[in-house]
Amino acid sequence: MIRHDKRYIYTLAFFYSVLIVILVSIPAYFYISIEKQNYRHNHLQNLEHYAYGVEKSIYDFSRTQKRIFDFPRSVLYDSHLYREDGTRIFATDHGGLGMADFAQRGIISKRIVLNANRLGARYLVVAQPFSYRSIYTKALIGALFLGAVVFLMTLFFVRISLRPLERVNRYLNTFFNDAMHELKTPIGVMQLNLEMLGSEERSKPFRRLRNAMHNITLIYEDIEYHIKQDHVAYRPESIDLSHFLSERVDLFRDLAQVKSIAIEEEIAEGLTVWINRVELQRIIDNTLSNAIKYSGKSTGIRVVLTQVEKRVRLSVADEGIGIRDTRRVFERYQRENTVQGGFGLGLSIVKHICDKNGIEIRLTSIPGEGSTFAYLFNTVN
């Protein structure tokens, strides 16, 4: 059981980690906003410092008699000089930006109004490319790191909390394996003796005893398959489904007679399928057993086996209580009617076998009128 729930554990840890990251992202949002403001402020300060240095160089040149102005250059900043009318005099880059273009996103700039100077410049604009990418990258790395830490911690604590359950699960598996092993011999002895008495004994108590033995065997085989399905390789084989189905229907007739249920069969001859014999028996037995269990007295069950194009169709239709929720009926431990008893394993086993062997299930049901279970098998090439 614990092994099958590993995916649930990982999913729980993942969503818990996402929840923590979302909760942390609320204060992180305000932190990032403040960090962005500080980041922009620091860049503006550096930009202003450089711009004032360039401005000072222009004024210093204007006070001298030098004929050539050595314009300050920087690998970080681009400088632009404009006249009063906005025409560009000089730029350290090769772009054609006007003064209005510096308001666009991705650029941070500082504009200074110049006093009269020998260059004839009225405006100095110093700019540089600007982005919050480094802040977003740090935030993303931090979120991923936090999510990974929370995920691993959650996984660690969940695993620790599940250790007692895993021990209990191992004890239960050992108990069930031992119990099934101990039950197998007496059940086999009882079946053998009932078969030996079958030709001589025809009394009503004997029929009841044989039907009870049949129910016990069905439950035993379901539990045995449920325990072994992850450990035993059920290899498929070529099976004459027509003959096999006829034998299983005959075995269920006595069980149906107790409730005066008539089983009508229409089985085409010579239809062969590719599936393991044990798994095929689980499909047929559970379907017939449920049809009898949930049918009222003096009703009927119709079993039909036909060839449909390149597939074999087996259908079992009853006149029982019907199924309200056909989507959940194949879930483990799900029962349509708890009064009827049972473990709710049968149809979940059927669904597992059909998924494993590529068998299509078609279920139609009308509450109060009955249900039809149909299985589409692949034929043997």
CATH code at position 345: 3.30.565.10
Quote the domain boundaries for residue 296: 234-378
Report the half-sphere exposure of 244 (CA within 13 A, side-chain side): 20
Confidence at residue 2, expressed as pLDDT on a 0 to 100 scale: 44
Q: How crowded is residue 190: how many other Cβ atoms within 10 Å of its Cβ?
A: 16
| More confident of the two residues 89 and 227 | 89
Does residue 312 form part of some domain?
yes
Does residue 121 form part of some domain?
no
Mean pLDDT across the stretch 83-91? 88
Distance between CA atoms of residues 203 and 156, nearest Å: 63
Does residue 369 form part of some domain?
yes
Model pLDDT for residues 274-292, shown as the tens digit of each residue: 999 989 998 999 999 889 9
Residues linked to residue 228 through DSSP beta bridges, in sequence order: none
Confidence at residue 341, expressed as pLDDT on a 0 to 100 scale: 43
Q: What are phi and psi for residue 335, nearest 5 degrees?
A: -125, 140
Does residue 327 form part of some domain?
yes
Distance between CA atoms of residues 325 and 328, nearest Å: 6
Does residue 329 form part of some domain?
yes
Domains held by the chain: number? 1
Does residue 267 form part of some domain?
yes
Kindly compute the dihedral angle of the four CA atoms of residues 244, 245, 247, 248, in this order, to the nearest 10 degrees.
120
What is the average pLDDT value for the chain, to the nearest integer?
82
Does residue 255 form part of some domain?
yes
Confidence at residue 325, expressed as pLDDT on a 0 to 100 scale: 78
Does residue 258 form part of some domain?
yes
| More confident of the two residues 346 and 109 | 109
Model pLDDT for residues 138-178, shown as the tens digit of each residue: 888 888 888 888 888 887 887 787 778 777 777 777 766 66
